[in-house]
């Protein structure tokens, strides 16, 4: 290790004291560099609340490091001499501090990896890129698991992870006797149940400054800035975790797939922005959930369901993202090319389910998994929207969105644009699914029970049209065999009516009109 001065660059989603770049930070001779950067805030036009969250959490983290005695070079967005990019930020700081080495934990995006890879060639000082080990599974371990497998499936990976980490294990057997309790986790919810909202944190002075800045400089970005209630420090994020474990986790399992118009969070944790930015660590979250099970405070189907999301899905999608090549996000298995409808931004649609998902996304930069997958994602899939534009939308609008986790979920899981590398069948569904799992249809201008009439739920005809349009690509999928048999059994008039109704809806979208 060099004894000279080192510049330790900490990115906006690396706000963890134990991130690998900071692990051996020396208070006497290292400088920690952080920057609010125009390029990062605008490479996609992030939701205002997301920018405010990242900037405020960064400022609090820098303040903490300073209080602890570290030298921190922090660029605020509105500094007079602010630079726009990581490259310029680092070049300036190397010069200013006479640094002899740059240390940084690998970024969570291929875009930044490409940029960072140039630094050593261009500059005069060596760059030490460290693994991000805030995950249960290293990328090498993931690749070793994936190597030689024809298809990658989350469930297989997840079981390996349970064994490897001993999380929720009873010796060699899964706690409770089963690996997976998904079948118990599909109950619809009722609006007279008790729902614990995630805790709301009043903005302090640092956050208020950031809110003023974001309101002035990002006024034309999507989303509401107020009310701002996110935790922006590790202390507050830990309070949000306590609250989830005590009040929501016990019912997380049963109602994991439910949706209600007036309940944005149901029993979901809303912890993903904190986890992805580094304020919380996945190990501590899983340990707390497991402890609740051991103490009898939460049932196995809830705890297993929750842990599977973090130890299973979150780790799995990261492995898939980094295994893919540079153009992961440009995959387009179905060749879908329709423009993203304006109602993804305005919420101006008669479809009550889509309007609700977009409205809460605008308010809180949050929607829970089933809304993302089965409402906005499902609609984009069956309407044939260009998956790259869908990917950009998700990356912009959610406070937890960083490409390593967003792109596999959107391109792979939701749009099936990878042709089935991540999931075994497309998440396409008609209105019946949404009706079963939510109360949206009761208050909708469309009738979910109608199939092809003017006021029939658009999901119904678009669902069949998607399957038939793409039959060459999906027809041999064994998981869809029954569905295609159902289509074959339908009488010809009904089939024609479905296709005509779908054509009408798609033409309306193509004219840029609302549905
Ligand atoms: P909970 O339901 O409380 O789940 C607990 C935690 O599990 C989450 O905080 C999250 O860290 C993790 N998790 C759950 N599902 C997944 C998953 N499929 N992949 C990775 N982690 C998961 N998650 C993101 O963190 N960032 C994204 O940009 C993102 N984009 C998505 C886009 C689409 C189309 C879909 C279908 C899912 C996406 N997800 C994304 C996954 C999931 O929807 C969110 O993690 C979840 O809704 C966050 O809310 P929560 O914290 O209340 O989750
Ligand atoms: C998302 C984001 C935003 C909005 N702003 C910044 C920033 O100003 N400075 C910064 O260091 N990081 C920011 N980020 C996160 C990065 O764009 C990027 O997504 C992650 O660092 C990838 O690991
Ligand atoms: Fe959504 Fe269709 Fe139900 Fe309306 S009827 S809320 S469009 S699923």
pLDDT at 105: 98
The answer to whether residues 36 and 132 touch, using CB atoms and an 8 Å cutoff, is no
Span 212-238, pLDDT tens digits:
999 999 999 999 999 999 999 999 999
Atom of ligand 3 nearest to the CA of 435: 3
* Other CB atoms within 10 Å distance of the CB of residue 280: 23
**Does residue 269's CB lie within 6 angstroms of at least one atom of ligand 1?**
yes
pLDDT at 263: 87
pLDDT(490) > 70: yes
Best substitution site from 457, 501, 509 to test ligand 3's pocket, by max atoms within 8 Å of Cβ?
Answer: 457
Domain limits, CATH 1.10.579.10, in the chain: 343-510
Identify which ligand lies nearest to the alpha carbon of 257: 1
- 400, 408, 414, best to mutate for ligand 1 pocket (most atoms within 8 Å of CB): 400
> H-helix or E-strand containing 101?
strand 101-105
Rounded distance between C-alpha atoms, residue 451 and residue 447, angstroms: 8
Ligand nearest to the CA of 54: 2
> How close is the Cα of 428 to the center of ligand 3, in Å?
14
CA 386 to ligand 1 center in whole angstroms: 22
Q: Which of 430, 435, 456, 508 to mutate to test the pocket of ligand 3 (most atoms within 8 A of CB)?
A: 435
Q: How many CB atoms lie within 10 A of CB 117?
A: 11
pLDDT for the residue numbered 455: 97
The verdict on the CB of residue 201 being under 6 Å from ligand 1 is: no
Low-confidence winner among 25-29, 100-104, 179-183, 495-499 (lowest mean pLDDT): 179-183
This model's pTM is above 0.85: yes
At residue 3, the pLDDT reads 62
Atom of ligand 2 nearest to the CA of 36: 8
Residue-wise pLDDT tens digits, 426-455: 999 999 999 999 999 999 999 999 999 999
Q: CA 440, CA 421: separation in Å to the nearest integer?
A: 32
Query: Which CATH number is 343-510 given?
Result: 1.10.579.10
Percent composition of the chain: helix, strand, coil (DSSP 3-state, to 5): 50, 5, 40
Ligand nearest to the CA of 52: 2
Residues with CB under 6 A from ligand 3: 351-353, 431, 434-435, 440-441, 444, 446, 448, 457-459
- pLDDT category, 99, cuts 50, 70, 90? very high
| pLDDT average, residue stretch 237-246 | 98
**pLDDT over threshold 70, residue 2:** no
> What pLDDT does residue 145 have?
96
Which residue's alpha carbon is at the smallest distance from atom 50 of ligand 1? 270
Exposed/middle/buried for 379, CB within 10 Å: 0-12, 13-18, 19+? buried
The answer, yes or no, to whether any atom of ligand 2 lies below 6 A from the CB of 11, is: yes
The span from the CA of 236 to the CA of 203, in Å, is: 11
Once rounded to an integer, what is the mean pLDDT over residues 161-173? Answer: 96
Distance (Å, whole) CA 357 – CA 380: 13
- pLDDT per residue as tens digits for the range 290-320: 999 999 999 999 999 999 999 999 999 999 9
The mean predicted confidence, pLDDT, of the chain is 95
Q: What average pLDDT does this structure show over 479-502?
A: 97
Residue with the nearest Cα to atom 10 of ligand 2? 12
* Best probe residue, ligand 3, of 188, 350, 353, 514 (max atoms within 8 Å of C-beta): 353
Q: Where in the chain is the domain with CATH 1.25.40.80?
A: 139-323
139-323: CATH topology is 1.25.40
Q: Has residue 121 got a pLDDT over 80?
A: no
Name the residue with tokens 């509105």. Answer: 78
**Mean pLDDT value across residues 317-337:** 93
Alpha carbon of residue 247 to chain centroid: 23
| Residue, of 180 and 83, whose pLDDT is higher | 83
Ligand 1 pocket residue status of 317, Cβ below 6 Å: yes
CATH 3.40.50.620 residue spans of the chain:
6-130
Distance CA 239, CA 151 (A): 40
Cβ of residue 203 lying under 6 Å from some atom of ligand 2: no
Interacting residues of 98 by C-beta distance below 8 A, sequence separation 6+: 5
Residue 27: phi and psi, rounded to 5, are -65, -30
Give, as one character, the DSSP assignment of residue 456.
Answer: B
What φ, ψ does residue 329 adopt, rounded to 5°? -75, -10
Q: Could you check whether the bond before residue 35 is cis, i.e. omega within 30 degrees of 0?
A: no
- The DSSP 8-state label assigned to residue 385 in this structure reads B
For the Cβ of 36 lying below 6 angstroms from any atom of ligand 2, the answer is yes
User: Of the bound ligands, which one is closest to the alpha carbon of residue 41?
Assistant: 2
Q: Using the predicted structure, report yes or no on whether residue 43 has a pLDDT greater than 90.
A: yes
Q: What angle do CA 392, 395, 401 make, to 5 degrees?
A: 165
Dump pLDDT digits (tens) for 245-295.
Answer: 999 999 988 788 889 898 899 899 999 999 999 999 999 999 999 999 999
Local structure of 209: helix, strand or coil: helix
Residue 300 alpha carbon to ligand 1 centre in Å: 20
347-402: pLDDT as tens digits: 999 999 999 999 999 999 999 999 999 999 999 999 999 999 999 999 999 999 99
Q: Vertex 174, ends 172 and 178: CA angle to 5°?
A: 140
Atom of ligand 2 nearest to the CA of 107: 23
Q: How high is the pLDDT of residue 191?
A: 73
Ligand 3 centroid–CA 460 distance in Å is 9
Instruction: Decide: helix, strand or coil at residue 263.
Output: strand
Of ligand 3's listed atoms, the one at least distance from the Cα of 351 is 7
Residues of the chain with pLDDT > 70, as a percent, come to: 99
pLDDT at 193: 74
* Multiple choice CATH, 6-130, 3.30.360.10, 3.40.50.620, 3.30.420.40, 3.20.20.140: 3.40.50.620
pLDDT, tens digit, for every residue of 404-413? 999 999 999 9
Note the pLDDT of residue 431. Answer: 98
What would the mean pLDDT of 475-492 be, rounded to a whole number?
Answer: 96
């Amino acid at each position: 290790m060099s004894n000279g001065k080192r510049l330790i660059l900490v990115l906006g989603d690396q706000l963890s004291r134990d991130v690998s770049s900071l692990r051996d930070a020396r208070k006497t001779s290292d400088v920690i560099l952080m920057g609010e950067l125009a390029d990062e805030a605008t490479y996609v036009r992030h939701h205002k609340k997301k920018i405010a969250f990242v900037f405020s959490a960064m400022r609090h983290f820098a303040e903490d490091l300073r209080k602890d005695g570290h030298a921190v070079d922090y660029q605020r967005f509105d500094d007079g001499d602010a630079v726009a990019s990581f490259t310029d930020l680092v070049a300036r700081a190397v010069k200013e501090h006479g640094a002899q080495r740059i240390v940084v934990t690998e970024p969570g995006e291929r875009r930044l990896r490409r940029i960072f890879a140039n630094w050593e060639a261009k500059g005069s000082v060596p760059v030490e890129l460290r693994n991000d080990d805030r995950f249960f599974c290293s990328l090498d371990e993931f690749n070793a698991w994936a190597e030689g497998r024809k298809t990658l499936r989350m469930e297989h990976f997840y079981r390996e992870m349970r064994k490897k980490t001993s999380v929720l294990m009873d010796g060699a057997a899964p706690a409770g006797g089963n690996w997976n309790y998904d079948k118990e986790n599909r109950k619809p919810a009722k609006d007279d149940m008790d729902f614990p909202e995630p805790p709301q944190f009043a903005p302090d002075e640092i956050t208020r400054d950031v809110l003023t800045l974001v309101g002035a400089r990002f006024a034309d970005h999507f989303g509401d800035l107020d009310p701002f209630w996110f935790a922006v420090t590790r202390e507050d994020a830990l309070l949000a975790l306590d609250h989830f474990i005590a009040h929501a986790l016990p019912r997380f399992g049963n109602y994991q797939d439910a949706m209600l118009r007036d309940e944005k969070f149901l029993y979901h944790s809303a912890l993903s922005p904190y986890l992805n930015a580094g304020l919380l660590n996945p190990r501590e979250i899983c340990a707390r959930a497991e402890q609740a099970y051991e103490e009898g405070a939460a049932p196995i189907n809830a705890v297993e369901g929750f842990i599977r999301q973090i130890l299973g899905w979150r780790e799995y999608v990261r492995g898939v993202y980094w295994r893919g090549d540079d153009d992961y996000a440009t995959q387009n298995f179905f060749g879908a090319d329709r423009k993203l409808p304006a109602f993804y931004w305005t919420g101006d649609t008669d479809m009550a389910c889509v309007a609700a998902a977009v409205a809460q996304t605008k308010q809180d930069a949050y929607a829970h998994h089933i809304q993302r997958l089965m409402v906005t994602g499902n609609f984009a899939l069956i309407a044939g929207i260009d998956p790259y534009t869908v990917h950009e939308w998700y990356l912009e609008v959610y406070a937890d969105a960083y490409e390593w986790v967003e792109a596999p979920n959107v391109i792979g899981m939701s749009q099936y644009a990878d042709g089935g590398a991540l999931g075994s069948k497309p998440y396409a569904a008609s209105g019946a699914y949404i009706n079963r799992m939510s109360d949206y249809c009761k208050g909708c201008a469309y009738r979910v029970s109608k199939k092809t009439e003017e006021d029939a739920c658009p999901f119904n005809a678009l669902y069949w049209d998607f399957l038939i349009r793409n039959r060459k690509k999906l027809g041999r999928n064994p998981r869809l065999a029954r569905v295609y048999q159902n289509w074959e059994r339908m009488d010809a008039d009904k089939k024609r009516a479905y296709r005509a109704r779908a054509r009408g809806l798609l033409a309306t979208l193509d004219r840029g009109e609302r549905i």
